[in-house]
Structure 1
Amino acid sequence: MTSRVDAPCQIWGGTYTGNGYPVIRRGHLTILARRQVFETHHGEILEGQIVMDTCGHRGCVEPTHLYAGTQSDRMRAFIATGQFDGGHLDRQPTYEERARGERIHTAKLTDEDIPFIRERARMGEKHGEIAKDYGVSRPAISYAVRGVTWTHIPDLIPKA
């Protein structure tokens, strides 16, 4: 197992399972993203093994934090590191740690675009015209302007 304690967690920017694990599509299958990352960087996962992490963060897909082991190994690690609380085995990413805005891998807009988009809309430009300039749908612009999405981005000029 190669592990670098000093390497920061790489938090998954895509979809998560209901219990907080990153997932990816492989053809018609949905698999845990850390399995894909592990196989890409470390090779095949043997039958009966699962991918675990050295950092204790469900959303982490940093290759140097991942290693293969058995479920028994996982339970021993949880108990040894104090992550086992009798029910909830490790923490889920916090709201701040989850990917949003341009950190979402499918985003076409950037964090820098949003204040300008909002200002153009405030000046009366139609959402459809703005959408064409950025190569996105009209609803994507409308949601950004109304603050339904991109809520973490402040306006250039505060709303009056």
Structure 2
Amino acid sequence: MKAPNAFYGLFGTIAEREYGAITVDGKQDRAHRYICEFVNGPSPEPDYDAAHGCGNRACVNPAHLSWKTRADNMGDKLIHGTHHRGERCPTVKLTEDQVRRIRSLKGVKTQAELAREYGVARQTITNIHTGARWSWLR
């Protein structure tokens, strides 16, 4: 892997989903993956993530980057508060209070009634009732 002259000042863009981008030899890559590989060597397995110990997606500080399994990286996102679940998800249709209310109405109203009332698919109500979605919310 070709070493950049300096890690900082090379990253003039933010790529999709707020990750820093770098172009080396005409090929664009995510900056954090490039720096992680340069500092820590190649990924131990092809599906490992270049994880940000600081929780900042745009960070390219070599001291903050390490290879982690997807499960470990997702766990870190929960710790950092950067996981997009529940109301943090940009496509969410329900609030946490609505989900709690939907749970409280299980067996009182049908799933079809709840789906119409909250403007979601019946399957969404099923997923809430079974714990397939919003399971972390109490």
TM-score by length of 1: 0.47
Structure 2 unaligned segments of length 5 or more: list them: 1-7, 36-50
Paired position in structure 1 for 2:121 = 137
Paired position in structure 2 for 1:21 = none
Please state if 1:125 is matched with 2:106: no
* Contact preservation (8 Å) 1:38, 1:51: no
* Contact preservation (8 Å) 1:102, 1:110: yes
The Cα offsets for residues 71-95 of structure 1, whole Å up to 9 and x where unpaired, read as xxxxxx75xx3856xxx47862316
Paired position in structure 1 for 2:15 = 35
Give the length in aligned residue pairs. Answer: 101
Q: Which residue of the other structure, out of 127, 133, 136, is the alignment partner of 1:149?
A: 133
User: Distance in 1 between the 2:115 and 2:128 partners?
Assistant: 11
CA 1:83–1:36: 2 relative to 1, 3 Å: closer
Q: Which residue of the other structure, out of 52, 62, 86, is the alignment partner of 2:31?
A: 52
CA 1:83–1:118: 2 relative to 1, 3 Å: closer
- Percent identity of equivalent pairs: 23
TM-score by length of 2: 0.53
CA 1:38–1:45: 2 relative to 1, 3 Å: farther
CA 1:50–1:104: 2 relative to 1, 3 Å: same
Structure 1 unaligned segments of length 5 or more: list them: 3-33, 67-76, 155-160
In the alignment, residue 36 of structure 1 is paired with which amino acid?
Answer: E
In the alignment, residue 16 of structure 2 is paired with which amino acid?
Answer: Q
Cα distance, 1:140 vs structure 2: 0.4
Paired position in structure 2 for 1:110 = 95
The Cα offsets for residues 92-137 of structure 1, whole Å up to 9 and x where unpaired, read as 2316253222222222111121111111224x11111111111100
CA 1:144–1:61: 2 relative to 1, 3 Å: same
Moved runs in structure 1, 4+ residues, more than 4 A? none
In the alignment, residue 31 of structure 2 is paired with which amino acid?
Answer: M
User: Distance in 1 between the 2:64 and 2:122 partners?
Assistant: 49
Higher relative CO (CA 8 A, sep ≥ 6), structure 1 or 2?
Answer: 1
User: Distance in 2 between the 1:103 and 1:111 partners?
Assistant: 10
CA 1:82–1:152: 2 relative to 1, 3 Å: closer
